[in-house]
Structure 1
Amino acid sequence: MDCRDDHGKAKQLSEEPSRKRAYSSTEKGKGKMLDTNGNNYKQAKQQQNPAVSGVQCQGNSEPLIISSSSSMLQQQQTQRPLPAVNSSISSCRMAPPERQCTQQLSENNLNPNVVRESYQELANTGSRGPLHQSDVATVRGRGEILCEEYLSLRAWVQRTSYYWDIVKCSLILDGWTEEMTGRTYLNVIIDCPLGAVYLKSIDVTFAVNDVEAMMSVIERLFHESEFGLRPECVLQVIPFSASPWLDAVGERLKEKYPWMFWSVSATYCLSLMLERVASTITWVRQTITQAKMVTRLIYSDPRILDLLRKASNGEIDQNSNLVKPAKIKEATPFLTLENMLLWRKQLENMLMSREWNDSSFGSSLGGIRVAELVLRDRTFWTRISLSVKGTMPIVNLLGLINDGNIDVDKPQMGNLYERMDKMKEKIRGDIGIKNSNKFMPFWVIIDQIWNDMLHSPLHAAGYYLNPKLFYSNNFFADEEVKDGIRDTIQKIVADAQAQTAIMSQLDTYYDAEGDFKIGLFERHNVSPVVTLRRHALHDVVYIDAVEWWRRYGNQCKELQDFAIIVLGISCNGAPTPHKFGREDVGRLLSTSETDPSHLWLVQKCFVSYNRHLRELTTSGFKFNIEADEPHPVDDWIVGYY
C-alpha cells in the first residue's frame, strides 16, 4: 500500500505541523526521466553539474561510472518530506535481514527510505506508534540498501550492454493501455543471449496510430540511451502487437536500417491463435458457452463444490478447482475444458447422487439444464475432447516459449520453425487424419497467423543452421527455407565479399566436410542454441557462444559468426515473466517529475524489473502456464447458467 495520498504528495505525520518544501527554479527538473519530446531532457542537461563521479558498487569487481543525475537520486532522497507509516509494515515484525526487508517494503509499495525515520520521529514525540520501536525491522538510513541495489543493477545492465554489439540484441517494446486512464505505456527491454534487461518506461499515448511519432520514440531510444544502445547493435525489433499502424512503423524502420527485422512476438501470435479458435470456430465457441454454464453453477454456491468433492470419493482435494486459470488468459478456456474432461466422472456422479436430487439446486431450472447437458448430451463431451486436442499443442508451445530453463529443445530461434510444424502434426494426429473437417479449421487459423504475422526469414535461417535438425533424416529445405537463409545473409551481412564466403561455406556445411563431419556425430550431445556459463561464486556472466558452432565451425569463420548471431536471437517478445509491476509504471509516468516521490519510483521500477529479469537469467526460470486461483469475477465463475 502506498505511503502517499492520491495526488502523489507525501502524507504528514499527525504529531508535527504541516510543512511544505519550496523548490528553487534551479532545483526543479533535476534528475528528470527522459520524456519523448526531448525538452525536459535538454533542460535537465543544462542544469546538471557536468562533473562525472565514479561509484564503487559493493560486491562488484569494477566501478560504475554514473552521471550527476544518478548521484542526485541519493541527494534528493535526503530532502524528501517524511510520510506517515502504514500499519501494513507489521509484516516485517519477524525482522528478516536488512536487504530482504527492504525488498519486501519496495514490493509492497512502501518507501523503505522513510520507514526508520518515521518511527524515530514517533519515538521522539513519545508515541508508541502502531508497533513497538524494538519490533521494527532495521532499515539502514535514508535508503542505503535500495540505492546500493540500484547501483548494483545499473552495473549489471552496463556489463550486459558491453556484449550487445558483439552478439547483437532484440529491442522489445512491451506496450499496454491502462483501462482506467486510457493511456498507453511502453516498457523498453533489451534481450540478448546473456539475458534481458529493462531500460526505461515511456508514456506513448501521443504516438498511438501515429507512425511518425512512434518512429521518433524509437529513434530517441537509439540516440539517447545511457547504456549505449546503438542501431548497429539491434538485429530485430519486437512490437507489442500486430496493428496495421505498427506494421507501417516496421516498414519505415527497415527502410532506414536495412539490417533490422521487425518480428512479432511468438507469444502474442500463439495467444492470438487461441483467441481466434475460441471466437471464430462455431462449434468451439458453442462448447465454451455450454461449459461456462456448468462451471458457473458449480461456483454459484460453496455447497455445490462440496458436493462435487464428496462425489469424487477423495479424488478431488479441497484445494482443487474445476476452473483452471492461466497466466496467459487466452489459454484459460482450454485448460478448463481439459480439466472438465478429467472431472467428467465426478460431475456425473454428483448430478446422479441422491444429495443432488434432494437439494434445491437439483430442482432449480439451472440445475436441470446442466444435468441435461452433462448426463444426456453426448456431443457435448465429444466437442470438449476435440477442442482440447486442437488447442493443447498450442498451449504447450506457449509454455515452452516462456520457459527460462537452458534447454536444448526449447524453441529459441533455431527451433521455432520446426516446433510450429510439429504442433500442426500433433493436432492432426490427435484429432485423426480422417477427420479433416475437424482439424482443418485449426490449421487454417495457425497458417493465417504464421504467414501474415509470425514468420520471419530469421526463423527459416535458424532452422537451417540448427545442426540437430539440419543433419536429421526429416530435414526438408523448401523454397521458404532457402529464401529465408539467403534473405537473412543479405540483411545481416553488409559486406558483399563476406556474403559470398558464407554462401560458399554453406556448401561445406551441407556436405558435412572437415570438422562438420565430426560434428555430425556430436550434434545430439551439445546445445545448438546459445548457452550461458556462470562462475559458481561470482555473479559474472560468460558467453560460450553456440557450443556446436564454436567447436566445429572454425574452418568457416564467416559462417560461424553468422550462425552464432542468428541462433542467439530471441523469437519472443515480452513473455509473461516480463509482465510485472505495470501499476508501478502507471504511477511513475503519472507523477510529476518534480515531485519528491518521482525519483524513488524511478529507482523502484529499475530495481524491481531488473532484479526479476536477472533472476530469470540466473536461476533457470521454470514457467508454469497455469495460475494458482481463479479470479472471483471471472466469467467462468460469475454469470447466467
Structure 2
Amino acid sequence: MASSPGPDIILPLSSQKHDPAWKHCHMIKRADRIHLRCMYCHKLFSGGGIHRIKEHLACQKGNASSCPKVSMEVRRAMQQSLDGVVMRRRKKQKLAEEVKKLNPVKPADTADGHSEAEMGLQLVAMPISVEPEAVQLEKREEEVVARTHERKRRRAAKNLSPPLKENGFARANLGEQWTEINGGPLDAVNSAHFQPMIDAIAAAGPSFKAPSYHDLRGWVLKNSVEEMKATVDFYKETWTRTGCSILADEWTTEADQTLINFMVYCPEGVMFLKSVDASQMVTSADALYELLKLVVEEVGVGNVLQVVTSNTETHALAGKRLTETFPSMFWTPCASRCVDAMLEDIVKLEPASIILEHARSITRFVYNHAEVLNMARRFTDGKELVRPGRSPSDTTFMTLKAMAGLKENLSSMVGSEEWKNSSCSKNEAAAAMTELICSPTFWSSVDSLVQLTDPLVQVLRMVDSIKRPAMGYIYRGLHRAKEVMRRVLKMKKDYMPYWNIIDWRWHKELPRPLQAAGFFLNPQFFYRIKGEVPNEIMTGVLDCIERLVPEMKSQDKINKELTAYKNATGISGGRWRSGPGTPCSPIFASPFGNSSGEWWSTYGGGCPNLARLAIRILSQTCSARGCERSRIPFEQMHSQRKNHLEHQRLSDLIYVRYNLRLQQRHLLKNRQTDPLSVDAISGVEDWTVERTGLFTREDDESNWVELIQPTSSSEAAHTDEDDALFSAEIDDEEYDGCNKEEEEEDDDDDVKQEMYGFVKEEE
C-alpha cells in the first residue's frame, strides 16, 4: 500500500461506538480515507469495518489475518463477541421463521389488480375470530412460546453428543433459560451440585420430565431430609470420642429481627441444628441462658466441650450461668469476631486509615469506568484488585495485599500510551489516581501495612477454616502476629499501639483456657518453647483438666502423664524433640484433618488419659461463624403469618439447604466471583462504590456491556489456604518466652524512613 502524504490523524470515537472491538483499535484519517488500525500489531485495515478488526483480534482465519501480539484475554473476548453476533443472527432468523409459520401469508390481489408484492407492501393475514383482540394476542403468544420451547428441546437433543462444556451455543442457551426461570440466581452455578444436575439432565436425554412444583415440595424434600439426617447421624457417632462445640451464629435480618442459627461442630463436619428468633432474648441474660441450656441438653451434656457465642455482656452473663449449670464445659466468645474487631480497631488508627482511603480511591475509580477496568484487567492478566472476603476486615486487607502484589502492573498501566490516550485519564480524579500509583512512598506504606496486618488476617482466616480445627493454633497465631509487628516497626513506641489493641481485645473478649491448652497439647509448638512453660499456658491446661475431667482419679492420672509429656519420655523417647519429619510434624489424615489430634491418636498410647483429653480439646473450633445465608428462607420461616404445616415444611427445607451449604464449603475454593456483582457488593462497597460527588459523571459513557469478562476467580487465590495457614514457617524466636510483653526500644537507624506515620525519623 502506497503511503499517503501528511501525518495520520487519530479520530475520536463517538458515543455510538458500543462494539467491544472499538476499545482495541484506533480510527485513523489518512488523506481523505478512514482506516482502522490494530492497537497491538498496528496493522492498518481499509475495509471490512469493525467486524474485520474483531476477526483479526480473535485470530479467526478467513477474512482477516491474525494479530500476533493480542493477549489471550482480548482474543477470548473478541471470539465471544463474534459468537454472540452469530447467535443473535440465528435467533433473529428463527424468530422470523416462527412468525411466518404462525401467520402464513397468502398472495392476494388488491382491488386495483396489483398484488401486494408488486406494490412493495405485505400485510400479515389475521385469522377471523369473534374473540377479543387481547385474547387472540395472548393465544398467539402462547403458541409462539410453545413452539419455541419445542424447538429448543429438539435442539438440545441434537447437542447431547458433544460434551456440554465444549458446546458454546448450548451453554448460551442454558444461560438464557436460567435467567428466565424466576430470575434464577446467577451465582447458583457456584454450587457443587450445579454441574452434577446438568450432567444428570443431559444423561437422561430429551425425554426427561422435570419434577413438578408439588414433587419438589413433597417426595423430593422428604427424601432430602432423610438423606441429610443419615449424614448428621454419622457426625453424631464421633461426638463421644472427639466431643463437639455448639455454635450460636447470631445475625440481624433486613426486618431487624435477631436470629440465631445453632450449629454443632466436630472434626467430621458442621451440622445445622435449628434457627431461633431471639429478638426478645438477646437483651436478657436469663432468657438467653434458658435458650442455650435447651440446646446443650438437646445435643447432650456429655458431648459438649464449649458453647461459642457472640461476645456481648449479655452473652457473657448467660455463658457464666451456663457453665455454673454445666461445670464440665466452657463458654467461649467467637474468636473470628474478636480478631475482626482487632483489625477494625487497627483500621481506625491514622496511618492505616489514610493508606486505606488512598487505596480505595484507586479501586473506586477503576471499578466505575469500563474502559479503565478493562485496561486494568489486561495489564494484570485478568487478576482482580478487589478481593471479596468473609468479612469487611478480610476484604479490606486481602484487597490491599492484592494491590501490593500488582503495583508493577498498575504502574505499567498508567505509564502506557493506551492510558495517556484514554479519555478517562484526563480528569482530576484520574490524575490523583496516577499520582498515587506512581508514588514510592504510598507503595512503601502499603507494603508495611500488609506486613503488619497479614499475620492477623491469617489468624482470622485460620479460625474460620473449614478444613481442620483451629484450637491448637490460635494462641500461637496471635503471639506470632505481635512478634511480626515488633519486627516490622522495631521501635516500641510505634508497635505498642497495635499490641495494646490485640491485648485489650484478647484479654477482654477471649478467655483463653482452651486456647492455652491447645497450644500446650500441640507438639508442633510445645517442644519449641525455650525455658519454662509460661504460667498463663499451664494455668489454662490445669483449668481444662479440672473442668473437662470431673473424676479425681482421672485427674491424678493426667497430671502424672503431663510430666511424661513435658519431659518427652514414655512415647518415642527423644525423637519428640527432633523437628520436621518426626512425630512432631503435622499429620493430615482426612479432608477435615485434625493434625494435632491425629498425632495424639498415633503416638499417645503411653499417655492414654492425657491423649483422650488432648484429642477432645484439639478437635474444637474457635469460631461461631456459619456460611452465607442468601436465598435460604429464614425470614419467611420466622414470619408471624404462617400456617403450622407450612412452617414445618419450611423448617425442613432450611435444614436441608443450610446443611448442604455447610457440607460444600470446602468444595468452593475456586468459585467464581465478581467484585461488581450484587452477590458481593455487601462486602466490597467501600472499594467499588463511588462517593457522591467524588467523580464527575457528565461525560462518562461507561457501560457494563463494554466490560471484558473476568477470566480468573478472585476467591481462588485466597479461599481457605489451609495448608499454608496451619503449617506456616515456625521461628524458634517466637517461643523464647512467648508471654513476654515488654521489649526494650531498638535504636536501629536503618528503619528511619517516612511511611505515612508508621515510622517517623527521629529528631
Task: Quote the Cα distance in structure 2 between the aligned partners of 1:568 and 1:372.
Answer: 50
Determine if the alignment matches structure 1 residue 296 to structure 2 residue 364. yes
Task: Quote the Cα distance in structure 1 between the aligned partners of 2:306 and 2:388.
Answer: 33
Q: Counterparts in 2 of 1:98-109, with a 5 A limit?
A: none
Task: Quote the Cα distance in structure 2 between the aligned partners of 1:87 and 1:625.
Answer: 23
Task: Quote the Cα distance in structure 1 between the aligned partners of 2:634 and 2:521.
Answer: 39
Determine if the alignment matches structure 1 residue 564 to structure 2 residue 615. yes
Q: Which residue does 1:149 correspond to in 2?
A: 224
Q: Does the C-alpha gap of structure 1 residues 342 and 549 become closer, same or farther in structure 2, counting only changes over 3 Å? A: closer
Determine if the alignment matches structure 1 residue 330 to structure 2 residue 423. no
* Alpha-carbon contact 2:248-2:308 (below 8 Å) kept: yes
Q: Which residue does 2:243 correspond to in 1?
A: 168
Amino acid at match of 1:269: C
* Alpha-carbon contact 1:529-1:568 (below 8 Å) kept: no
Secondary structure of the residue aligned to 1:186 is strand
Q: Deviations over 1:219-264 (max 9, x none)?
A: 22234x3xxx22332111100x211221121222222222221112
Q: Counterparts in 2 of 1:136-535, with a 5 A limit?
A: 136-138=209-211, 141=215, 143-178=218-253, 180-223=254-297, 225=298, 229-239=299-309, 241-279=310-348, 281-309=349-377, 315-317=379-381, 319-353=382-416, 356-357=419-420, 359-375=422-438, 377-405=439-467, 412-429=470-487, 431-433=488-490, 435-472=491-528, 474=530, 477-517=533-573, 520=576, 524-525=581-582
Amino acid at match of 1:326: G
Task: Quote the Cα distance in structure 2 between the aligned partners of 1:463 and 1:583.
Answer: 38
Q: Does the C-alpha gap of structure 1 residues 475 and 529 become closer, same or farther in structure 2, counting only changes over 3 Å? A: farther
Q: Deviations over 1:336-382 (max 9, x none)?
A: 2223323333434444455545555444232333334443x543223
Point out where structure 1 has 5 or more consecutive residues left out of the alignment.
1-13, 16-84, 93-98, 106-132, 535-540
Deviation at 1:481, TM superposition (A): 0.8
Determine if the alignment matches structure 1 residue 629 to structure 2 residue 680. no
Deviation at 1:144, TM superposition (A): 2.4
* Alpha-carbon contact 2:456-2:481 (below 8 Å) kept: yes
Task: Quote the Cα distance in structure 2 between the aligned partners of 1:405 and 1:585.
Answer: 26
Q: Which residue does 1:590 correspond to in 2?
A: 639
Q: Which residue does 1:88 correspond to in 2?
A: 181
Q: Does the C-alpha gap of structure 1 residues 475 and 155 become closer, same or farther in structure 2, counting only changes over 3 Å? A: farther
Amino acid at match of 1:198: F
Q: Does the C-alpha gap of structure 1 residues 388 and 550 become closer, same or farther in structure 2, counting only changes over 3 Å? A: closer
Task: Quote the Cα distance in structure 1 between the aligned partners of 2:356 and 2:463.
Answer: 26
Task: Quote the Cα distance in structure 2 between the aligned partners of 1:544 and 1:370.
Answer: 46
Amino acid at match of 2:686: D
Secondary structure of the residue aligned to 2:396 is helix
Deviation at 1:214, TM superposition (A): 0.6
* Alpha-carbon contact 1:287-1:384 (below 8 Å) kept: yes
Q: Which residue does 1:129 correspond to in 2?
A: none
TM-score if structure 1 supplies the norm length? 0.69
Q: Does the C-alpha gap of structure 1 residues 455 and 359 become closer, same or farther in structure 2, counting only changes over 3 Å? A: same
* Alpha-carbon contact 2:575-2:582 (below 8 Å) kept: no
Task: Quote the Cα distance in structure 2 between the aligned partners of 1:100 and 1:322.
Answer: 29
Amino acid at match of 1:465: L
Amino acid at match of 1:443: W
TM-score if structure 2 supplies the norm length? 0.58
Task: Quote the Cα distance in structure 2 between the aligned partners of 1:396 and 1:413.
Answer: 14
Deviation at 1:479, TM superposition (A): 0.8
Task: Quote the Cα distance in structure 2 between the aligned partners of 1:347 and 1:529.
Answer: 40
Q: Which residue does 2:75 correspond to in 1?
A: none
Amino acid at match of 1:295: T
Deviation at 1:196, TM superposition (A): 1.6
* Alpha-carbon contact 2:259-2:275 (below 8 Å) kept: yes
Secondary structure of the residue aligned to 1:635 is helix
Q: Does the C-alpha gap of structure 1 residues 528 and 145 become closer, same or farther in structure 2, counting only changes over 3 Å? A: farther
Q: Does the C-alpha gap of structure 1 residues 358 and 315 become closer, same or farther in structure 2, counting only changes over 3 Å? A: closer
* Alpha-carbon contact 1:390-1:439 (below 8 Å) kept: no
Task: Quote the Cα distance in structure 1 between the aligned partners of 2:362 and 2:503.
Answer: 33
Deviation at 1:212, TM superposition (A): 0.9
Secondary structure of the residue aligned to 2:210 is coil
Amino acid at match of 1:588: M
* Alpha-carbon contact 2:367-2:676 (below 8 Å) kept: no
Q: Deviations over 1:290-342 (max 9, x none)?
A: 22222222223212223445xxxx5423x433222223221222222223323
Amino acid at match of 1:177: T
Task: Give the root-mean-square deviation of aligned CA atoms.
Answer: 3.9
Deviation at 1:177, TM superposition (A): 0.6
Q: Which residue does 1:613 correspond to in 2?
A: 662
Secondary structure of the residue aligned to 2:686 is coil
Secondary structure of the residue aligned to 1:580 is coil
Amino acid at match of 1:419: G
* Alpha-carbon contact 1:295-1:637 (below 8 Å) kept: yes
Point out where structure 2 has 5 or more consecutive residues left out of the alignment.
1-137, 140-177, 186-191, 199-205, 695-763
2:601 is aligned, of 547, 550, 553, to 550
* Alpha-carbon contact 2:389-2:398 (below 8 Å) kept: yes
Deviation at 1:608, TM superposition (A): 1.6
Task: Quote the Cα distance in structure 2 between the aligned partners of 1:432 and 1:273.
Answer: 18
Q: Does the C-alpha gap of structure 1 residues 528 and 218 become closer, same or farther in structure 2, counting only changes over 3 Å? A: farther
Higher RCO (CA 8 Å, separation ≥ 6 residues)? 1
Q: Which residue does 2:629 correspond to in 1?
A: 580
Task: Quote the Cα distance in structure 2 between the aligned partners of 1:454 and 1:602.
Answer: 33
Q: Deviations over 1:160-179 (max 9, x none)?
A: 3244344321110011011x
Q: Does the C-alpha gap of structure 1 residues 637 and 560 become closer, same or farther in structure 2, counting only changes over 3 Å? A: closer
Q: Which moved more, 1:457-466 or 1:182-191?
A: 457-466
Between structure 1 and structure 2, the one with the greater Rg is 2
Secondary structure of the residue aligned to 2:260 is strand
Amino acid at match of 2:380: I
Q: Deviations over 1:95-149 (max 9, x none)?
A: xxxx9689979xxxxxxxxxxxxxxxxxxxxxxxxxxx95643569463232112
Task: Quote the Cα distance in structure 1 between the aligned partners of 2:303 and 2:420.
Answer: 68
* Alpha-carbon contact 2:379-2:410 (below 8 Å) kept: no
Q: Deviations over 1:76-102 (max 9, x none)?
A: xxxxxxxxx99617989xxxxxx9689
Q: Deviations over 1:420-479 (max 9, x none)?
A: 2223323434x253x545444332222222222234111111211222322336575111
Q: How many residues are aligned here?
A: 498
Task: Quote the Cα distance in structure 2 between the aligned partners of 1:351 and 1:305.
Answer: 12
Q: Deviations over 1:494-531 (max 9, x none)?
A: 12232222212211222222235276278855588897
| Seq. identity, % | 27
Secondary structure of the residue aligned to 1:546 is helix
Secondary structure of the residue aligned to 1:412 is coil
Q: Does the C-alpha gap of structure 1 residues 87 and 598 become closer, same or farther in structure 2, counting only changes over 3 Å? A: farther
Q: Does the C-alpha gap of structure 1 residues 511 and 347 become closer, same or farther in structure 2, counting only changes over 3 Å? A: closer
